[in-house]
Structure 1
Amino acid sequence: MEPKNSAESTEPQWLTEDEQHIWRAYLHATTLLEDHLDRQLQRDAKMPHVYFGLLVKLSESPRRRLRMTELARDAKITRSRLSHAISRLEANGWVRREDCPSDKRGQFAVLTEEGLGVLERTAPGHVAAVRHALFDRLDAEQQKSLGEIMRIVAEGLQPTEAGADLPWLR
Protein backbone atom coordinates (compact mmCIF):
# COMPACT_ATOMS: atom_id res chain seq x y z
CA MET A 1 0.00 0.00 0.00
CA GLU A 2 1.49 3.35 -1.02
CA PRO A 3 1.58 6.20 1.53
CA LYS A 4 -0.95 8.94 0.85
CA ASN A 5 1.69 11.66 0.83
CA SER A 6 4.29 11.48 -1.96
CA ALA A 7 7.86 12.64 -1.37
CA GLU A 8 7.48 15.26 -4.11
CA SER A 9 4.58 17.04 -2.42
CA THR A 10 5.52 20.40 -0.95
CA GLU A 11 2.41 20.75 1.21
CA PRO A 12 2.18 18.44 4.24
CA GLN A 13 -0.85 16.20 4.33
CA TRP A 14 -2.07 16.91 7.85
CA LEU A 15 -3.85 14.22 9.77
CA THR A 16 -7.60 14.38 9.63
CA GLU A 17 -9.45 14.86 12.89
CA ASP A 18 -10.20 11.12 13.03
CA GLU A 19 -6.59 10.23 12.25
CA GLN A 20 -5.38 12.65 14.92
CA HIS A 21 -7.65 10.96 17.50
CA ILE A 22 -6.38 7.51 16.47
CA TRP A 23 -2.75 8.65 16.58
CA ARG A 24 -3.09 10.23 20.02
CA ALA A 25 -4.99 7.22 21.37
CA TYR A 26 -2.19 4.97 20.09
CA LEU A 27 0.51 7.12 21.73
CA HIS A 28 -1.43 7.32 25.00
CA ALA A 29 -2.12 3.57 25.11
CA THR A 30 1.43 2.49 24.24
CA THR A 31 2.91 4.88 26.82
CA LEU A 32 0.55 3.58 29.50
CA LEU A 33 1.17 -0.06 28.51
CA GLU A 34 4.95 0.32 28.61
CA ASP A 35 4.72 2.07 32.00
CA HIS A 36 2.40 -0.66 33.35
CA LEU A 37 4.78 -3.43 32.28
CA ASP A 38 7.84 -1.55 33.50
CA ARG A 39 6.30 -1.01 36.95
CA GLN A 40 5.31 -4.70 37.19
CA LEU A 41 8.84 -5.85 36.36
CA GLN A 42 10.45 -3.29 38.69
CA ARG A 43 8.18 -4.48 41.50
CA ASP A 44 8.61 -8.21 40.84
CA ALA A 45 12.21 -8.44 39.64
CA LYS A 46 13.84 -5.04 40.20
CA MET A 47 14.49 -4.65 36.48
CA PRO A 48 13.09 -2.46 33.71
CA HIS A 49 11.07 -3.92 30.86
CA VAL A 50 13.96 -3.54 28.40
CA TYR A 51 16.20 -5.73 30.62
CA PHE A 52 13.50 -8.40 30.77
CA GLY A 53 13.37 -8.34 26.97
CA LEU A 54 17.14 -8.86 26.79
CA LEU A 55 16.91 -11.87 29.11
CA VAL A 56 14.10 -13.31 26.98
CA LYS A 57 16.13 -12.85 23.77
CA LEU A 58 19.10 -14.62 25.34
CA SER A 59 16.94 -17.44 26.71
CA GLU A 60 15.57 -18.11 23.21
CA SER A 61 19.01 -18.16 21.57
CA PRO A 62 21.17 -21.23 20.97
CA ARG A 63 23.30 -21.91 24.04
CA ARG A 64 21.52 -18.89 25.61
CA ARG A 65 24.03 -16.49 24.03
CA LEU A 66 24.12 -13.82 21.34
CA ARG A 67 26.72 -11.50 19.90
CA MET A 68 26.32 -8.08 21.48
CA THR A 69 25.76 -6.44 18.08
CA GLU A 70 23.03 -8.94 17.25
CA LEU A 71 21.37 -8.45 20.65
CA ALA A 72 21.40 -4.66 20.16
CA ARG A 73 19.83 -5.07 16.72
CA ASP A 74 17.18 -7.50 17.97
CA ALA A 75 16.33 -5.30 20.96
CA LYS A 76 16.38 -2.12 18.82
CA ILE A 77 18.67 -0.27 21.23
CA THR A 78 22.03 1.41 20.76
CA ARG A 79 25.15 -0.59 21.48
CA SER A 80 26.10 1.85 24.25
CA ARG A 81 22.70 1.43 25.93
CA LEU A 82 23.04 -2.34 25.55
CA SER A 83 26.53 -2.27 27.07
CA HIS A 84 25.17 -0.36 30.08
CA ALA A 85 22.25 -2.79 30.43
CA ILE A 86 24.52 -5.84 30.20
CA SER A 87 26.82 -4.33 32.83
CA ARG A 88 23.84 -4.00 35.20
CA LEU A 89 22.69 -7.54 34.41
CA GLU A 90 26.26 -8.80 34.98
CA ALA A 91 26.36 -7.07 38.37
CA ASN A 92 23.22 -9.03 39.30
CA GLY A 93 24.82 -12.27 38.11
CA TRP A 94 22.14 -12.78 35.44
CA VAL A 95 24.37 -12.38 32.38
CA ARG A 96 28.07 -12.74 31.65
CA ARG A 97 30.16 -11.60 28.70
CA GLU A 98 32.38 -13.90 26.69
CA ASP A 99 34.96 -12.89 24.13
CA CYS A 100 34.31 -13.99 20.59
CA PRO A 101 37.08 -16.39 19.46
CA SER A 102 36.71 -15.43 15.77
CA ASP A 103 36.64 -11.64 16.33
CA LYS A 104 38.92 -10.05 18.93
CA ARG A 105 36.63 -7.01 19.24
CA GLY A 106 33.40 -9.03 19.43
CA GLN A 107 31.68 -10.22 22.58
CA PHE A 108 28.81 -12.50 23.44
CA ALA A 109 26.19 -11.87 26.12
CA VAL A 110 25.37 -15.15 27.86
CA LEU A 111 22.37 -15.81 30.10
CA THR A 112 23.55 -17.45 33.34
CA GLU A 113 21.67 -20.14 35.28
CA GLU A 114 20.80 -17.47 37.85
CA GLY A 115 19.48 -15.22 35.08
CA LEU A 116 17.41 -18.05 33.67
CA GLY A 117 15.98 -18.65 37.14
CA VAL A 118 15.03 -14.98 37.51
CA LEU A 119 13.39 -15.09 34.09
CA GLU A 120 11.44 -18.26 34.94
CA ARG A 121 10.24 -16.76 38.26
CA THR A 122 9.32 -13.41 36.70
CA ALA A 123 7.69 -14.58 33.45
CA PRO A 124 4.34 -15.73 34.96
CA GLY A 125 3.70 -12.31 36.54
CA HIS A 126 4.76 -10.55 33.37
CA VAL A 127 2.46 -12.68 31.21
CA ALA A 128 -0.40 -11.98 33.65
CA ALA A 129 0.31 -8.23 33.38
CA VAL A 130 0.35 -8.38 29.57
CA ARG A 131 -2.84 -10.44 29.50
CA HIS A 132 -4.65 -8.10 31.93
CA ALA A 133 -3.47 -4.91 30.24
CA LEU A 134 -4.02 -5.94 26.62
CA PHE A 135 -5.55 -9.27 25.68
CA ASP A 136 -8.29 -9.42 28.32
CA ARG A 137 -9.58 -6.07 27.04
CA LEU A 138 -9.98 -7.26 23.44
CA ASP A 139 -12.20 -9.91 21.93
CA ALA A 140 -10.71 -12.53 19.57
CA GLU A 141 -11.48 -10.49 16.43
CA GLN A 142 -9.90 -7.33 17.90
CA GLN A 143 -6.80 -9.30 18.90
CA LYS A 144 -6.49 -10.68 15.37
CA SER A 145 -6.93 -7.20 13.87
CA LEU A 146 -4.36 -5.70 16.23
CA GLY A 147 -1.85 -8.39 15.26
CA GLU A 148 -2.41 -7.82 11.56
CA ILE A 149 -2.15 -4.04 11.94
CA MET A 150 1.08 -4.25 13.94
CA ARG A 151 2.63 -6.66 11.40
CA ILE A 152 1.76 -4.25 8.55
CA VAL A 153 3.24 -1.28 10.42
CA ALA A 154 6.40 -3.21 11.36
CA GLU A 155 6.91 -4.50 7.82
CA GLY A 156 6.55 -0.99 6.45
CA LEU A 157 9.15 0.36 8.85
CA GLN A 158 11.65 -2.50 8.62
CA PRO A 159 14.70 -1.12 6.82
CA THR A 160 15.67 -2.99 3.69
CA GLU A 161 18.89 -1.21 2.77
CA ALA A 162 22.13 -2.48 4.31
CA GLY A 163 23.53 0.98 5.06
CA ALA A 164 20.50 2.30 6.98
CA ASP A 165 21.45 4.75 9.74
CA LEU A 166 19.72 2.99 12.61
CA PRO A 167 20.47 3.63 16.30
CA TRP A 168 21.00 -0.06 17.07
CA LEU A 169 23.69 -0.25 14.39
CA ARG A 170 25.72 2.55 15.95
Structure 2
Amino acid sequence: MTELEPRWLSADERAAWLALLSTTTLLPGALESPLQQAAKLSLFEYNVLAMLSEEAGATLPMSELAARTSASLSRLSHVVKKLQGRGYVERSVHVDDARVTEVTITAVGLDLIRKLAPLHVECVRTSVFDQLDAKDVKDLARIGSKIIRGLDESHWTLRPQHP
Protein backbone atom coordinates (compact mmCIF):
# COMPACT_ATOMS: atom_id res chain seq x y z
CA MET A 1 0.00 0.00 0.00
CA THR A 2 1.40 3.38 -0.96
CA GLU A 3 0.91 6.53 0.98
CA LEU A 4 -1.18 9.14 -0.76
CA GLU A 5 0.34 12.54 -1.28
CA PRO A 6 -1.40 15.17 0.88
CA ARG A 7 -3.75 17.45 -1.02
CA TRP A 8 -1.93 20.67 -0.11
CA LEU A 9 -3.78 23.97 -0.31
CA SER A 10 -3.08 26.28 -3.20
CA ALA A 11 -2.00 29.83 -2.40
CA ASP A 12 -5.57 31.09 -2.95
CA GLU A 13 -7.05 28.27 -0.84
CA ARG A 14 -4.54 28.97 1.95
CA ALA A 15 -5.41 32.68 1.93
CA ALA A 16 -9.16 31.87 2.03
CA TRP A 17 -8.64 29.31 4.81
CA LEU A 18 -6.60 31.70 6.95
CA ALA A 19 -9.22 34.43 6.46
CA LEU A 20 -12.01 32.03 7.50
CA LEU A 21 -10.02 30.68 10.45
CA SER A 22 -9.14 34.16 11.66
CA THR A 23 -12.77 35.26 11.31
CA THR A 24 -14.06 32.30 13.31
CA THR A 25 -11.42 33.00 15.96
CA LEU A 26 -11.82 36.78 16.27
CA LEU A 27 -15.56 37.25 15.75
CA PRO A 28 -16.94 35.46 18.84
CA GLY A 29 -14.86 37.61 21.19
CA ALA A 30 -15.83 40.80 19.40
CA LEU A 31 -19.52 39.89 19.73
CA GLU A 32 -19.33 38.55 23.29
CA SER A 33 -17.44 41.37 24.98
CA PRO A 34 -20.29 43.92 24.78
CA LEU A 35 -22.79 41.29 26.02
CA GLN A 36 -20.55 40.51 28.99
CA GLN A 37 -20.21 44.20 29.82
CA ALA A 38 -23.92 44.94 29.46
CA ALA A 39 -25.44 41.86 31.11
CA LYS A 40 -22.73 39.35 32.09
CA LEU A 41 -24.04 37.13 29.31
CA SER A 42 -21.95 34.94 27.01
CA LEU A 43 -22.54 34.94 23.26
CA PHE A 44 -23.86 31.39 23.54
CA GLU A 45 -26.30 32.38 26.33
CA TYR A 46 -27.47 35.32 24.22
CA ASN A 47 -27.98 33.00 21.24
CA VAL A 48 -30.09 30.61 23.36
CA LEU A 49 -32.32 33.48 24.47
CA ALA A 50 -32.48 34.92 20.94
CA MET A 51 -33.54 31.59 19.41
CA LEU A 52 -36.31 31.26 22.00
CA SER A 53 -37.44 34.88 21.58
CA GLU A 54 -37.83 34.42 17.82
CA GLU A 55 -40.02 31.35 18.17
CA ALA A 56 -43.83 31.55 18.22
CA GLY A 57 -44.76 30.80 21.82
CA ALA A 58 -41.16 31.54 22.87
CA THR A 59 -40.70 27.79 23.47
CA LEU A 60 -38.59 25.09 21.84
CA PRO A 61 -37.84 21.47 22.64
CA MET A 62 -34.29 21.06 23.96
CA SER A 63 -33.32 19.02 20.90
CA GLU A 64 -34.40 21.78 18.50
CA LEU A 65 -32.80 24.47 20.65
CA ALA A 66 -29.58 22.43 20.58
CA ALA A 67 -29.77 22.28 16.78
CA ARG A 68 -30.39 26.01 16.48
CA THR A 69 -27.48 26.85 18.76
CA SER A 70 -25.15 24.20 17.28
CA ALA A 71 -24.66 22.76 20.76
CA SER A 72 -24.62 19.34 22.32
CA LEU A 73 -27.56 18.53 24.57
CA SER A 74 -25.11 18.31 27.47
CA ARG A 75 -23.72 21.81 26.91
CA LEU A 76 -27.17 23.24 26.30
CA SER A 77 -28.58 21.60 29.42
CA HIS A 78 -25.84 23.17 31.52
CA VAL A 79 -26.44 26.63 30.05
CA VAL A 80 -30.24 26.35 30.31
CA LYS A 81 -29.86 25.44 33.98
CA LYS A 82 -27.70 28.52 34.48
CA LEU A 83 -30.17 30.75 32.60
CA GLN A 84 -33.03 29.24 34.60
CA GLY A 85 -31.22 30.12 37.81
CA ARG A 86 -31.07 33.74 36.63
CA GLY A 87 -34.80 33.72 35.84
CA TYR A 88 -34.40 34.02 32.06
CA VAL A 89 -35.89 30.66 31.04
CA GLU A 90 -38.09 27.88 32.39
CA ARG A 91 -37.96 24.18 31.63
CA SER A 92 -41.03 21.97 31.43
CA VAL A 93 -42.13 18.58 30.18
CA HIS A 94 -43.98 18.60 26.87
CA VAL A 95 -47.73 18.08 27.45
CA ASP A 96 -48.04 15.34 24.79
CA ASP A 97 -44.68 13.60 25.25
CA ALA A 98 -43.10 13.30 28.69
CA ARG A 99 -39.78 12.37 27.06
CA VAL A 100 -39.46 15.87 25.61
CA THR A 101 -38.16 18.76 27.69
CA GLU A 102 -39.13 22.21 26.47
CA VAL A 103 -37.49 25.52 27.24
CA THR A 104 -39.46 28.77 27.39
CA ILE A 105 -38.05 32.26 27.67
CA THR A 106 -39.57 34.15 30.61
CA ALA A 107 -40.79 37.75 30.63
CA VAL A 108 -37.52 38.70 32.35
CA GLY A 109 -35.57 36.91 29.61
CA LEU A 110 -37.59 38.62 26.89
CA ASP A 111 -36.99 42.01 28.50
CA LEU A 112 -33.25 41.27 28.59
CA ILE A 113 -33.05 40.12 24.97
CA ARG A 114 -35.04 43.18 23.83
CA LYS A 115 -32.60 45.39 25.72
CA LEU A 116 -29.52 43.63 24.32
CA ALA A 117 -30.66 43.05 20.73
CA PRO A 118 -29.89 46.58 19.47
CA LEU A 119 -26.40 46.39 21.00
CA HIS A 120 -25.78 42.94 19.53
CA VAL A 121 -27.04 43.88 16.07
CA GLU A 122 -24.85 46.96 16.06
CA CYS A 123 -21.84 44.81 16.97
CA VAL A 124 -22.69 42.37 14.18
CA ARG A 125 -23.10 45.25 11.75
CA THR A 126 -19.80 46.95 12.67
CA SER A 127 -17.85 43.69 12.93
CA VAL A 128 -19.16 42.10 9.73
CA PHE A 129 -21.53 43.93 7.45
CA ASP A 130 -19.98 47.41 7.44
CA GLN A 131 -16.97 45.85 5.69
CA LEU A 132 -19.09 44.25 2.95
CA ASP A 133 -21.07 45.45 -0.05
CA ALA A 134 -24.38 43.90 -1.15
CA LYS A 135 -22.64 41.39 -3.45
CA ASP A 136 -20.29 40.35 -0.63
CA VAL A 137 -23.28 39.73 1.66
CA LYS A 138 -24.94 37.47 -0.93
CA ASP A 139 -21.63 35.70 -1.56
CA LEU A 140 -21.07 35.21 2.18
CA ALA A 141 -24.53 33.65 2.57
CA ARG A 142 -23.99 31.42 -0.47
CA ILE A 143 -20.51 30.31 0.57
CA GLY A 144 -21.48 29.86 4.22
CA SER A 145 -24.42 27.68 3.21
CA LYS A 146 -22.15 25.51 1.08
CA ILE A 147 -19.71 25.02 3.95
CA ILE A 148 -22.53 24.29 6.41
CA ARG A 149 -24.08 21.77 4.00
CA GLY A 150 -20.74 19.98 3.78
CA LEU A 151 -20.52 19.79 7.57
CA ASP A 152 -24.19 19.04 8.33
CA GLU A 153 -26.60 18.66 5.42
CA SER A 154 -29.58 18.75 7.81
CA HIS A 155 -28.47 21.93 9.62
CA TRP A 156 -31.45 24.07 10.62
CA THR A 157 -30.22 27.12 8.66
CA LEU A 158 -30.54 25.09 5.45
CA ARG A 159 -34.25 24.42 5.97
CA PRO A 160 -36.48 26.29 3.51
CA GLN A 161 -38.37 28.24 6.20
CA HIS A 162 -35.13 29.82 7.48
CA PRO A 163 -33.40 32.07 4.94
Aligned residue number for residue 50 of structure 1 = 44
Gaps of 5+ in 2: 155-163
Aligned residue number for residue 71 of structure 1 = 65
TM-score, reference length from structure 1: 0.83
User: Following superposition of structure 1 onto structure 2, how do residues 102-121 of structure 1 map, counting pairs within 5 Å?
Assistant: 102-121=96-115
Which of these residues, 31, 53, 70, is aligned with residue 37 of structure 1? 31
User: Could you report, residue by residue, the CA deviation over 1:99-154 in whole angstroms, capped at 9, with x for unpaired residues?
Assistant: 12223232110000000000000000000100001111112222222122112222
Q: Do structure 1's residue 134 and structure 2's residue 134 form an aligned pair?
A: no
Aligned residue number for residue 100 of structure 1 = 94
The one-letter amino acid of 1:115's match is G
The percentage of counterpart residues that share the same residue type is 38
Deviates more, 1:17-26 or 1:118-127: 17-26
Secondary structure at the aligned position of 1:105 is classed as: coil
Partners in 2 of 1:133 and 1:118 — Cα distance? 22
CA shift, 1:155, in A, is 2.4
Secondary structure at the aligned position of 2:153 is classed as: coil
Partners in 2 of 1:29 and 1:106 — Cα distance? 36
The one-letter amino acid of 1:108's match is E
Secondary structure at the aligned position of 1:98 is classed as: strand
Greater relative CO, 1 or 2 (CA 8 Å, sep 6+): 1
Partners in 2 of 1:96 and 1:69 — Cα distance? 15
User: Could you report, residue by residue, the CA deviation over 1:56-98 in whole angstroms, capped at 9, with x for unpaired residues?
Assistant: 1111222110111111122111111001100111111010111
Alignment RMSD: 1.6
TM-score, reference length from structure 2: 0.86
